[in-house]
Structure 1
Amino acid sequence: MSKTLIPFATDDMSALARSLVRQLEERERPPGHVEMLNLLARARGFRSFQALRASQMAERQLSQPPADVAVDYVLVRRLLRYFDQQGRLRTWPGKHSHRRPCLWMTWMALPPRTAMSEREVDGHIREVASLGDHVLLRREMVDAGWLMRTPDGREYRRVELRPEPLAMALREQLGRRSA
């Protein structure tokens, strides 16, 4: 089994050192290997080493060029009816196959690599959706695994993914419509 190398860099060495010192002072004994990985990851702003690794893997996947995939532009034209002239989602699709591309538009509005409160997530959703049910959209993104939240629901983070080609085509058409 080959190991995947996880690059580790920081913009602020001083902040990293302060964070590590603070975390080590809270401990009664020296950390083990896995505990040290988690300390380093938390010093970089991640919840755990697993979260750091997942972010690195997602970044690698996103940097790879997408395969040439045919886009159904007839479906894109149908999906446009769910959006108003400003590109805001105005109705939630009844067809499940139409929901996913529309949800991508909401996901793209969330800031990447940013911890947000529930109120902040709802604010971003309201900016791009006028259907009046921001909770539905937030829950759909969490259920799809596109938005992670802490168990207590205090912090949300967008999971970095490559949007589907259909979603990118829809985004392009919405951009043309509102320009």
Structure 2
Amino acid sequence: MSRPIFPFHAEDISALARALKSQLDSREAPPGHVELLNMLARGAGWKNFQHFRAQFEAQERVELRLAEPPAPPPKIDWRRIERLSWLFDLDGRLARWPKKFNQQQTCLWVLWSRIPARRALTEREVNVALLDQHTFGDYALIRREMIDAGMMTRTPDGRVYRRIEQAPPADALALIRVLAGRGARAA
């Protein structure tokens, strides 16, 4: 296994020489290999050799990541989005609760997007916001499912609710955009 090579650079060779002389003068015995590495690193402005090495390796990782092509956008099943949009009425409200779990989760993202962001809400405020967004009258089911799915959080006593800020999946974003054109009301 070969050792990694770390290119060493000092902005000012004179300052490096002064720093090395000062560090060597303060010693009684000649420095060992690791001590000399630390002296060189400190002379160039680093805390020690490990700091120098960590910075160099981090720079390599970042440059490698920048050189990689961006990930392709996720494929969206538009037929599925069309079927899910049929679950919403003309005002963009959820007309019925889907039977399939994956459909429920995608529909929950739509309702999640309509809950006020970065605000503490009471249970009553959450219920009112959810009542406005569906027509089948079971806001408790929706609220519970959002909490179970990690879209919302509540205090143990159930007094304060918050929407958890996160990026919805690509298919949920597509459904949110489709329904936005229907005049869906935001909470």
TM-score w.r.t. length of structure 2 = 0.58
Counterpart of 2:115?
110
- Give the letter for the 1:144 counterpart: A
Structure 2: 5+ residue stretches without partners: 1-69
Computed over aligned residues only, the root mean square deviation of the Cα atoms, in angstroms, reads: 1.7
Counterpart among 75, 79, 82 of residue 77 in structure 1: 82
Aligned-pair CA distance for 1:143: 0.7
Runs of 4+ aligned residues of structure 1 deviating over 4 Å after TM superposition are none
- Give the letter for the 2:174 counterpart: A
Counterpart among 68, 91, 95 of residue 90 in structure 1: 95
Q: For 1:47-86, what aligned pairs fall within 5 Å after superposition?
A: 68-86=73-91
Counterpart among 165, 170, 173 of residue 165 in structure 1: 170
Q: Aligned partners of 2:163 and 2:183: how far apart in 1?
A: 25
Structure 1 residues 122 and 140, CA gap change in structure 2 (3 angstroms): same
Counterpart of 1:119?
124
Aligned-pair CA distance for 1:159: 0.5
Counterpart of 1:35?
none
Verify: 1:155 aligned to 2:157, yes or no: no
Aligned-pair CA distance for 1:178: 3.3
Q: For 1:5-24, what aligned pairs fall within 5 Å after superposition?
A: none
Over alpha carbons, which structure has the higher Rg?
A: 2
Aligned-pair CA distance for 1:176: 2.2
Percent of matched pairs sharing the same residue: 43
TM-score w.r.t. length of structure 1 = 0.61
Aligned-pair CA distance for 1:91: 0.2
Q: Aligned partners of 2:103 and 2:161: how far apart in 1?
A: 25
Which secondary structure does the structure 2 equivalent of 1:74 belong to? helix
Aligned-pair CA distance for 1:126: 1.1
Which secondary structure does the structure 2 equivalent of 1:83 belong to? coil
Counterpart among 141, 146, 149 of residue 144 in structure 1: 149
